[in-house]
Structure 1
Amino acid sequence: MTEDAKKLRFDRMALVQELEAAGARFTKGNVCSCPWHEDKHPSAGIYQAEDGHWAFKCQTATCGIAGDVFDIRARREGLALKDILPRDGKPGNGSTPAAEAKPDPAPKQSKPVGKTLEEATAAAARIAGGQIEAVYHYENPDTGKARFHVCRIRHADGSKSFRPLIEAADGYRLTAPPKPWPLYRRREIRDSAFAVIVEGEKACDALTGIGIPATTGAGGAGKASLSDWAPLAGKDAYIWPDADPPDAKGRRTGIEHGRDVAKILEGLDPAPRVFWIDPDALALPPKGDAWDFVNRIEGDAEAKRRAVMELIERAAPMATGPAAEVSGLIEDAIAGRRVAVAWPWAMLSHFTRALLPGTVTLICGDAGARKSFAVLQAFMKWRQDGLRVALYELEEDRAFHLLRALAILDGNADLTDPDFARSNPDAARAAHERHRDFLDSFGRCVFAAPQKQVTLAELAAWVKARCDEGARLIGIDPVTAAAIERDSWAADSRFLIEAKRIIGDAGASLILVTHPRKRGAAKGPAGLDDLSGGAAYSRFSQTVIWLERLPHAELATVSFGQGTEEAQVNERVLVMKARNATGAGARLGMFFDPETLRTSEAGMLLK
């Protein structure tokens, strides 16, 4: 296997594309239907194995199909695995990897399913376990020849699925053409100054059937990036999303798909003017689209066309382009959607603004720097403030950390000492009773794995699960306790990239506790290169905070707002990186009280 082929096994999107080409339908996250049997309720999914490669598995007992991207490609194309795997720098007899796909008018990567289009569509329906409802032809506007066809298949339970067909020299093959895919109805939009963009060929045909130039990308929602939208450059583009209701997380698939298309259109040259047809203003049924609107209008085709043209005339222009991205940040801030959660320490919040949505913060310090106490105090404060939090403790069990939490709550470090509890049972029990409710509430947000060394892939999956539950602040203490992988640099990069994608989608913040690498005889202040782990940690984080424990408490000159004062400090915090604020390089004096286990902020160190 070539090095490029090995890398492809670690490419999540390559596996997703192979499965979708086989007919799998992804519902949410890594869950999908199995394309090799009728799968009303998706029973399959993809996961990241311990070595980091992505694999597919069907959980149905009568199926059980599993494998990596090459196994799936071999099964989809009806070839032996040895004919798929690229060797000695050359591809196998299978198709080129998805990431390197090139147009091939007569691909040879799969067995034909029919000599004629009629035979092939019947085979597609038989394989999918349904009935053909329609066949859509993606034609070249100049030659009229179809680059590929899409079969719309209706199943007995009322659900629908789609299967692509391409024509080769020896017949039709059940596979998608190389990407990018052409738009639907290119002939209708080629000579028009405007086009309506809908989701799905059925809605598109409803508009073109009444004289409205319209188009759609293949594959439906979530696959806008797989199509070539260049034919819309310089035109007026009217995006008409489906009226999908919100899912369990409040996301509306049709709306998000429309926004994905808008982002792609703004990158065309010349950029089109983009307008938005609001489906919520049309009194459509749930999941209603242009087809529903057109068929609701009484009268002939001209009456329907006039009704659609009225919508087009009322469509609101969308703010697109680079300036619109900045405007979006400003409007989110004004509306309170983009807010940095405050630390329990005011000056640290001011100098970092670390906890904006979608951010990663590193907290580093030598062993014994009391990082875990500070993180525990912060997560307790956020939970008390009503925020949804999740903290994964990779060292010691949950009861150990909750006992510390009890001591912090009660301001009594003695509660962590078994001798104190044995000598003062009434006091220990009373403290527990005072804080029982909060310990129950906070304890449900604390996870632990003291007897297992989890992998970075498992940590990424845990972050995803917590985001799905609505957590705003997520912590891992320490991330350096994760299992060391053979190619640790690549594993670190994969974890950080995936984690940033997950929290970015969810609007959460991720806090990672880490340790410094061994510096040997190195002298001078620590830097970003001294962080344990690969360079990905410092590169992909917005904020890096270094916590230093002083040998003993000392009197320091600090500034806290206006004026200066002398204060006792026994810890220093160095803001090593502050991408969201201007505090990089700031040094803060802190005081850890051994009697309460609480950390307080003294102020900015002046010397």
Structure 2
Amino acid sequence: MATDTGDKFATHARAVAEQLLGEPNKNLSKGDELRFGNQGSISVDVKRGQFYDHQENEGGGVLWFIARSTGKTVDGGHAVNWLRDNGYYVEDDRPPMQQGKGSGDRPPPRLDADGNWIPNHVPDGARLTAAYDYADKDGKLAYQVVRYDWNDPASPKGHGKTFLQRRPDPQHEGRFRYKNQGAVPLPYRLPELIEDVAAGLCIFIVEGEKKVDMLRDIGVPATCNHGGAGKFPRELAQWLAGAEVVVIPDNDAAGRDHAQIVGANLKDIAKSVSILNLPELPPKGSVDDWIPAGGNAEELYRLRADKAEAYKPAAPQSKFNAVTWLDIPRPGAELKPLIKGILTQNEISLVVGESQSGKSFLAIELAMAVARGVPFFGHKSERGAVVYQAGESAAGVRRRRLPAYAQHNFCTNKDLPFVLLQSQIDLFGGDEHAHALAAEAVAWGAAMSQPLRLIVIDTFNRATPGANENDGRDMGAIIERCEYIRRETGAHVMLVHHLNAGGLKPRGHTSLFAAVDSSISVRKVDEVVDANGRQVREWSISKMKEGEDGITERFVLPQVVLGHDRDGDEITSCVVAAPLGDASGEDDSGSRVSGVNALVLRAIYDVVADKGTPAPAAMKLPNSVRIVMKTEISERLRSVMNDDSEPLEVKDGETEDDAKRRRTEANRKAAARARDQLFGKGIIQMTADHVWLTGKNVFGFPPPPGMSRRPRADPQQGDAQEDGPNPRDDLPFDLGDFQ
């Protein structure tokens, strides 16, 4: 509950509410009570200045609502200063924007040498050096553009400057509100411009009020827009209807683009529009260099006659990576998979789930699939360096989760392109940590054996301390910093985040889910366990901008024993594995295979029956498992798939040897497809040298030799794939030896 009563600021309640919440719900608002949102969940008593959020069951005064919506604090006067910064006047005996909330911590008024008060965001010691009046058609001051200058030894020029806009404060004569939002744009020196156009004079348009004044001082009718280059609004065109217009651009790219913007806004309204590039200007030079060098009105009109060129629309220098229609089919940025069908390189994704759903374990599994270049649930991965930022439970990730993964996957002593960042980061407080994380990630990528592919931030909540997850402004700033990290590194940025209380969507403002390219939802499957009695979990693609969503896989978190503590108790963690039994989604008859898949599987069964041996103890496989050498399976497959009794199809232009090589390649590809499906279904497992059957039920096939029933062990257990070249990138059975 807020500490302020709202009485002092009640007059601003309606305006503040509409600025921060938008238009009120007219159907639900009554009298002095405004309702906001489709359900009217936020109510505002504009007479008393009281706000109430009916969903969150909390409320308070104007300052409370500003603090909640913007992140400003009530203590210290920050919410009050927000009012002043946004043009609201708070009654006080000092100039606005200068007082704190409490009398004990009020800073003295900041005045320049001439007695003009200085806005808070202008440095101390700044001087008001120029004020340019923008008057309406009747000569009444509408707003000003003012310039402040200050000494700055750190600047190459020794000084700094800034331009601001301000409007007269209607409540206090002689004071200004440093906020021009909502003001109608006007051309500079409008009353004189109206007379010039009526007299049929040629009007020159330049960048900046100083240049306009210099031209008018030598008798040349001129005007400009406020705000500088690139900000000539369409509203100004009405004041130049029927006039001959000459645009004088500054000698730089921004000036040339500005001339195009002016021409585009005036081409159907002014009598004529031409562009005059002044000769012999220095880089970035313009009228304020040309006139001191001897330029005058007579010379300017001569240049207009001889050098000005009629405005012709030209394609702008796009700041947004524009591509024209004809260029779209040409090669451009390619969508490259990071994990095929799940993650795309150089994008942003979410891994979301409720607490204890297994989302962080799944994030580690995803990250390690990239670092090792091994499949993720049968989906091919692109190997690359991984930077894993563990802001939550970093010690547990380092001491338990990663060692458990390494032990389970036989990669303990491998030098993988993976680095764990253990310190918390802050993507909300400012740009510093985002810039530092991007720079360090790039450096780690350069130092490792693989190019940087993936940055994981686990968790999003711990990386954004102090942010209001339900505030669109807070989330917008954080999303932009994530985008910065993505742009600067070229890596995929994965955010591990929590679901909302309903368990249906990511927690917080909807802008987060809208901004990411893909999202993986993780959940426990209620009341479902596998054959070992382990809780079954499920991940699914809940969003995929450029691909298929809805892909779903189930998994369990089997326990891995890492050692024992000083009391003799086991030290354990968990890893991601496929569930055993019906929880895998198969019916009682087991998986179904056919065609080449069945042929290859039958060859494996035969070899295991003839030559299978118990696995070495180091592989940690159940005693019932029999392993065989890949080369032994290759020999069997050669006899099965390269049957010379089959008719050989020789195509036109081929020799018989060519036809045999083509058939061998076709067999190789068919076996590769069979290999992928058998491995993806968890029917087989392998190392660089060995292959074995997991014991998973397969329709039409008996239990593997040595197994009387489906084993209780995890079919993923003992996956000793070596790192380096992915065993699935080449055939596991050495089919390249076909002759």
TM (normalized to structure 1)?
A: 0.51
Provide the residue aligned with 2:421 in structure 1.
447
Paired residues for 1:52-451 under 5 Å? 53-55=70-72, 67-71=77-81, 73=83, 122-124=114-116, 129=125, 133-140=129-136, 142-156=137-151, 157-162=158-163, 166-167=167-168, 171-176=173-178, 178-181=180-183, 182-185=185-188, 187=190, 191=197, 199-206=207-214, 211=220, 213-218=222-227, 224=231, 229-232=234-237, 240=249, 243=252, 262=261, 284-285=282-283, 288-295=284-291, 298-307=294-303, 313=309, 317-319=313-315, 327=323, 336=332, 338-340=333-335, 342-348=336-342, 354-355=344-345, 360-364=348-352, 366-367=357-358, 370-378=362-370, 391-397=388-394, 400=397, 413-414=409-410, 416=412, 428=413, 431=414, 443=419, 447-449=421-423
Secondary structure in 2 matching 1:544: strand
Structure 2: segments with no counterpart, 5+ residues: 1-5, 22-65, 98-108, 152-157, 374-381, 443-452, 522-538, 540-552, 556-577, 598-668, 683-715, 730-739
Deviations 1:246-288 (A, max 9, x none): xxxxxxxx689959x95x9989998999999899997634xx3
- 2-structure distance, mates of 1:240, 1:541: 40
Contact preservation (8 Å) 2:408, 2:717: no
Q: Is the CA contact (8 Å cut-off) linking 1:392 and 1:476 kept in structure 2?
A: yes
Q: Structure 1 residues 517, 473: CA separation in 2 closer, same or farther (over 3 Å shift)?
A: same
Q: Deviations over 1:65-96 (max 9, x none)?
A: 96424235559999767999xxxxxxxx989x
Query: Hey, what does 1:595 align to over in structure 2?
Result: 720
Q: Distance in 2 between matches of 1:595 and 1:231?
A: 71
One-letter amino acid of the structure 2 residue matched with residue 175 of structure 1: R
Cα separation, partners in 2 of 1:538 and 1:567, compared to 1, 3 Å = farther
Task: Indicate how the Cα distance of structure 1 residues 538 and 284 shifts in structure 2: closer, same or farther if over 3 A, else same.
Answer: same
By relative contact order (CA 8 Å, sep 6+), the higher-ranking structure is 1
Q: How many aligned residue pairs are there?
A: 445
For 1:283 and 1:201, how far apart are their aligned partners in 2?
19
User: In the TM superposition, what whole-angstrom CA distance separates every residue of 1:442-466 from its partner, at most 9, and x where no partner exists?
Assistant: 64xx5334xx6x7773598744664
Residue deviations 1:362-416 (CA, integer Å, cap 9, x gap): 23464166222313554788xxx999986532334389559988999x9994455
Amino acid at match of 2:225: T
Partner amino acid, structure 2, of 1:71: N
Q: Does 1:477 align with 2:458?
A: yes
Q: Residue 201 of structure 1: CA displacement? A: 1.8
Q: 1:332 to 1:213 in 2, by over 3 A?
A: farther
Q: Larger deviation: 275-284 or 458-467?
A: 275-284
Q: Distance in 1 between matches of 2:500 and 2:722?
A: 27
Q: CA RMSD in A?
A: 6.5
CA distance in 1, matches of 2:77, 2:366: 44
Cα shift readout 1:147-171 (whole Å, capped 9, x = no counterpart): 2334434445533344656556864
Conserved? CA contact 2:72–2:79, under 8 Å: yes
Higher radius of gyration, 1 or 2: 2
Inter-CA distance 162–412: structure 2 relative to 1 (3 Å threshold)? same
Deviation at 1:122, TM superposition (A): 3.5
Cα distance in 1 between the residues matched to 2:201 and 2:457:
53
For 1:270 and 1:531, locate their aligned partners in 2 and report how far apart those are by CA, in whole Å: 49
TM-score for both structures, normalised by structure 2: 0.44
1:55 positional shift = 4.0
Amino acid corresponding to residue 513 of structure 2 in structure 1: S
- From the superposition, tell whether residues 499 and 82 of structure 1 become closer, same or farther in structure 2 (CA, over 3 Å): same
Change (3 A) 1:6 1:372: farther
